[in-house]
Amino acid sequence: MLNVLSIGGNALNNSKNLDNLLDAIEFLAKKGNLLIVHGNGPQVGELSDLEGLNLGVLTAQTEAEMGIFLAEEISKRLSKGKSEAKVEVVLTKVRVDPKDPAFKNPSKPIGRFYSKAQAERLRTKFTLKHLVHGYRRVVASPMPKKVMNLATIKDLLERRYIVIAGGGGGIPITYRGNRYNFADAVIDKDYTSMLLAKSLGAKRLFILTNVDGAYIDFGKKKSHRLAKVNSKELQKYLKQGQFEQGSMGPKVEACVSFVKETGGIAAIGNLKRARDAVALKNCTIVTA
């Protein structure tokens, strides 16, 4: 059985979060095949500030660096002084449509948070958006259409490797003028996780974030977490605008799409309680 685990880029910036994540990975590794997709929002934003390069190029850089780091940590945890665990990183090219409307409507948060005063000064340089914890830069986030090296990922999974792929949502590639080009965008890793999960026949999709699941009326007095919900009900909440675009919205959309097409189970849980979430406890469980 294949499980797909999607984690935010913040997970690799915090030693406690990393320990929690490794607990969950160790649990899932005993249950069957495992594919891990990580985000890169904080890291690619920081690199962009420093280097100013095409976001597709920077995603390739972060996917390699973060993937190798995570693979080494997983190997150390699972090996425990024995033979080296089989973990492999796949630099993943993901094709996107150059005409995707997302290129004209930036929505994906990257980089750090800014105060209102800082955001005002940066508005001539970046597109910024006010989120729950402050202002962040937002960039184009087209939908992933095709994972171009899917066969490599599938082969490694069949050989019982733990595979880290689609890091940062994958390297966004467009096809124009009879050639492939880096797209100046960052694909949402949850959409790529969903595409990989469906393409590879996964049974479960786990999305770990900084809250305990999908909340109705988030941030308000009557806010409450959805414990177990079917895709039809969750779509209703999506239409009501309950889930923030570029944040919880893509996570919920990814879960709905996955369970509707596969009949599998998806879950959204807190990285601080990662082991619970992958055991389907204290999280939002989504069914068809």
Residues assigned a catalytic role: 9-10, 108, 189, 251
Element (H, E) at 205: strand 204-209
Q: Are strands 134-139 and 128-131 parallel, antiparallel or unpaired?
A: antiparallel
Of 281, 284, 276, 288, the closest CA to residue 228 belongs to 284
- Can you tell me the distance from the alpha carbon of 106 to that of 250, in angstroms, rounded to the nearest whole number? 14
Dihedral sign of CA atoms 155, 161, 162, 164 in order: negative
Neighbours of 14 (CB within 10 A): 13
- Can you tell me the distance from the alpha carbon of 259 to that of 288, in angstroms, rounded to the nearest whole number? 5
* Amino acid in the structure at residue 148: M
* Burial (Cβ within 10 Å: 0-12, 13-18, ≥19) of residue 38: buried
